A = this chain, B = another copy of it.
Amino acid sequence: MVNKFVYAFEEGDKDQKDLLGGKGANLAEMTRLGLPVPPGFIITTEACRYYLQHGRIPDSLRVQVTMALRRLEDVTGRRLGDAVDPLLVSVRSGAKFSMPGMMDTVLNVGLNDFSVEGLVEASGSERFAWDSYRRLIQMFGKTVLEVDGEAFAQALDDAKEAKGVTSDVELDADDLKGLVETFKAIVEKHTGRGFPQDPREQLDLATEAIFHSWNSDRARLYRRRERIPDDLGTAVNVVTMVFGNLDDRSGTGVCFTRDPATGKTGSYGDYLVNAQGEDVVAGIRNTLSLDDFKKVDPDSHKELRRIMRRLETHYRDLCDIEFTVEKGKLYILQTRVGKRTAAAAFRIATQLVDEQLITMNEALDRVSGEQLALLMFPQFDKSADREVLTRGMAASPGAAVGAVVFDSATAVAWKARGEDVILVRKETNPDDLEGMIAAAGILTSRGGKTSHAAVVARGMGKTAVCGAEQLVVDVTAKEARAGEVTLREGDVISIDGSTGEVFAEALPVVPSPVVQYLEEGIDAAVADADKDTAELVRAVDRLLGHADTVRRMEVRANADTATDADRARRMGAQGIGLCRTEHMFLGPRRELIERVVLADTPDARSAALDALLPLQRDDFVELLTAMDGLPTTIRLLDPPLHEFLPDRAELMVKVALAEERGEDVEHDRKLLAAVNRLHEENPMLGLRGVRLGLTVPGLFALQVRAIAEATAIRLEAGGHPHPEIMVPLVGSLMELHLVGDETEGIVEEVSEAEGVTMSIPIGTMIELPRAALTAFRIAEVAQFFSFGTNDLTQTTWGFSRDDVEAAFFADYLKKGIFTVSPFESLDRDGVGRLVRIAVEDGRRTRPDLTLGICGEHGGDPESIHFFHDVGLDYVSCSPFRVPIARLEAGRAVAEAGEETSISA
């Protein structure tokens, strides 16, 4: 049996994206719905795969295309190459996933020296027909025959110069006839043969060229980055040409079934009379709104509205539609589920529930934690007058206003005197780090979402717009030009990291209504809000509420102080998953730890530790009060000790200079000796965590005692404290044994002394590969595991998080070695495999083992789904990410397909 390589639109449907590609499947679907799609057919991805494997198209494809063409001629009543009313087709690639780097489109296939006369006849415009022919030769020559495009551009310029005009539209039919001859000569010169006059040959060559382009360098690189398999192949769509630029009863447009910007109901779109698609994009003339379109062409408008309703009901989502009117006849050229803003996503999802089109679970699947995060940033006041200066990539969200500076030093200096600045650079490199830290926002003219600026800004949580290509930055002259406007050092601008917009003025920033809702509740948030905002807040509330109902995983917060803990509770945290006790020793208490470290006798060390006890105890009393009734995981001291000591290199300089000047250096020299003793080449791999606890006598004991005493105080006050003690950086059972034995002893001692009963679970971070690999043993002692995925990522990959700011990391993103930083989103293949091993082995040893995660991945949507799948009990993240984690933990269940009732 011969494979079916060609499908008429009538033969496919939207679920056949594997075989027909995304574009083709949607064209087929619309055809099946009876919508006015120009007739056409699809050459399947299977044909492409055959071509890629054998280096030639399958034999039977030729016959199948012949039959499909004959059918097309029958349906349209036109013939390819006809000298009266010729059939013209577009030939477009269409893979399962949208994929830049492949050959895209050849229009007007079917034109030749004869049929161009037919098009003159049929269109009634000689200039139109010859311009169409000229475009075919140029596009075909360039993309299919691989003629250097420069040659055509040069010839076009020559023609304009000869006539003394500057614009293409000033060339008349005769000029274009001449140009066609010139273009044909160019093709002949570069390929050794004439431009193919046979329409069928044009089609076949275009098809092969599209197949061939699947393996272009750019396409391969793109696939590697996006992890798209190399063997999918692309389909080819052959569609009858329709023309929106034939007369004033023709035109072309784009519309949405709801407002993709705000989510408001009602249709939105643009229409351009007597124009083709590319004219809309070029923005030469003003477009009409759909309401104006109705006045111009009420019949077509009415039909379009009908089709929009039909498609939305059918796709059960916002649709984005391209259409063309040819001499009063409406054609739908393409449709897809439309992109939308974060606010629109939430509103549309709940609207569709209310319209009984989708279930609450489906609605949950239509929004994302990333969108919720965008809604939580402060925003520019949309009601303010504003004009976009230029646009770039929305590289790191937020709204930043500040004075333009062009170098790091100025950024630091101006910031120091209290001024907000926006650092503007062509692109950034590690030398700009200090300036980036000082700046309120970062704007670059080059590089995309994976550029150094973008990666570092996201790592810092700093607003950034990158790759604003229309901006010409001249760092030496300290100015940046965008069209007519020149920005100079000190000029105030506003950048929107959520949209990529840049404004040449200070825009007012308003706080996020979603944050107000989270902080103060729904009533406060909708009280003074406008209708759109109120609807948005209600949508967020409904979807978050539904997520809370369905999710299996708990959400805790990482919080080190009572203030953080209060915020975390308001954000919906169900406990603290990580309290970093080292944060209690920053600032003025730093020297207390320094005393412990520098103590040169056991007595001196004991004294230094004793001084810490009441402070630590008070810290924990406050924390346990704030988290009353909820689990509170306290991690014993983790970071390298030298973090509490002066910088070694600076101290060396200080001592050397003081010696040179003959000053007294005794104290500093002693300090330096201690610092040298504790110096490590790789502190991240050094004396940290449990190693510290086992090496510095009394250190962990002090902390455990403070926790136990604080618990006793809270119990005596009638509270419900639930502390859990977490040991960091454990690599082997023995370490936990030793700390565990000591901890149990102290807790018992305090219990007896205070006459209270308390049980404090002891668990460990799993943040070293060895801990994960030997989880089956560690679980003998640990009552809970908390995955420290930051450190686990560091050691599994063997690079430190500081490298995120280093040059090679940006390089790696650019080269596609990472699609996203593994510190942002969990690396499932590597780190994730360790997590899975530890979960399975740990539970085998101790079936009631509690499993959580407290690395930054706890607030990352992608990662949360993984943690759900792998069976963790909770995720813990920073307080502001808690709502995002709640939503995503719910989505993880919804996506698994458990059905809930159609409305909620």
Contact = CB atoms under 8 A, between A and B. Distances in A.
A681 interface: yes
B649 A769 contact: no
Interface in A799-834: 799-800, 802-803, 806-808, 811-812, 815-817, 827, 829-831, 833-834
Interface residues of A, number: 62
Interface string A648-659: 111011001100
A771 to B, nearest CB: 9
A791 B799 CA distance: 12
Interface in A676-715: 677, 680-687, 691, 694-695
A322 interface: no
B652 A691 contact: no
Contacts of A224: 734, 737
A803 B680 contact: yes
Given A224-B734, A694-B812, A830-B770, A799 B686 contact: yes
A431 interface: yes
A682 B802 contact: yes
B797 A770 contact: yes
Contact of A774 (B653, B803, B829): B829
A289 to B, nearest CB: 47
A799 B814 CA distance: 30
A777 interface: yes
Interface string A854-883: 000000000000000000000000000000
A681 B683 contact: yes
A773 B795 CA distance: 13
Nearest to A831: B770
A798 B833 contact: no
A684 B681 contact: yes
A834 B773 CA distance: 8
A731 B809 CA distance: 13
Contact of A796 (B649, B768, B794, B827): B768
A731 B830 contact: yes
Nearest to A224: B734
B798 A685 contact: yes
A834 B682 CA distance: 23
A143 interface: no
A732 B798 CA distance: 12
A796 B773 contact: yes
Given A680-B803, A682-B800, A684-B681, A732 B795 contact: no
A664 interface: no
B798 A731 contact: yes
Contacts of A681: 683-684, 800, 802
Contacts of A811: 694-695
A729 B808 CA distance: 14
A817 B735 contact: yes
A805 to B, nearest CB: 10
A782 to B, nearest CB: 16
Counting chain B CB atoms within 10 Å of each CB, the highest count among A732, A769, A834 belongs to A769
A521 interface: no
Contacts of A680: 800, 802-803, 806
Nearest to A687: B808
B798 A768 contact: yes
A430 interface: yes
A603 interface: no
Contact of A734 (B677, B777, B816, B834): B816
A802 B683 CA distance: 10
A731 to B, nearest CB: 5
Interface in A656-681: 656-657, 660-661, 677, 680-681
A795 B793 CA distance: 10
A224 B735 CA distance: 12
B773 A685 contact: no
A673 to B, nearest CB: 9
A303 to B, nearest CB: 50
A756 interface: no
Nearest to A656: B653
Contacts of A660: 657, 660-661
Nearest to A684: B682
B797 A830 contact: no
A453 B749 CA distance: 37
A738 interface: yes
B656 A686 contact: no
A833 B682 contact: no
A101 to B, nearest CB: 17
Interface string A739-762: 000000000000000000000000
A708 B307 CA distance: 65
A189 to B, nearest CB: 31
A589 to B, nearest CB: 23
A817 to B, nearest CB: 4
Contacts of A817: 694, 732, 734-735, 738
Counting chain B CB atoms within 10 Å of each CB, the highest count among A734, A774, A794, A827 belongs to A734
A807 B773 contact: no
A173 B460 CA distance: 88
Contacts of A649: 648-649, 652
B430 A677 contact: yes
Contacts of A729: 798
A798 to B, nearest CB: 4
B800 A686 contact: yes
Contacts of A802: 680-682
Counting chain B CB atoms within 10 Å of each CB, the highest count among A657, A680, A682, A768 belongs to A682
Contacts of A648: 649
A653 B833 CA distance: 46
A656 B683 CA distance: 26
Given A680-B802, A735-B817, A830-B731, A794 B652 contact: no
A686 B833 contact: no
B830 A695 contact: no
Contact of A652 (B431, B653, B682, B695): B653
A735 to B, nearest CB: 6
Smallest CB-CB A-B distances: 8 pairs? A770-B830, A649-B649, A685-B800, A769-B769, A768-B798, A734-B817, A682-B684, A682-B682
22 contacts: A430-B677, A649-B652, A656-B656, A656-B657, A680-B800, A680-B806, A684-B685, A686-B800, A687-B808, A691-B812, A694-B815, A695-B807, A695-B811, A729-B798, A731-B797, A731-B798, A734-B816, A769-B798, A770-B797, A773-B796, A773-B834, A774-B829
Interface of A: 224, 430-431, 648-650, 652-653, 656-657, 660-661, 677, 680-687, 691, 694-695, 729, 731-732, 734-735, 737-738, 767-770, 773-774, 777, 791, 794-800, 802-803, 806-808, 811-812, 815-817, 827, 829-831, 833-834
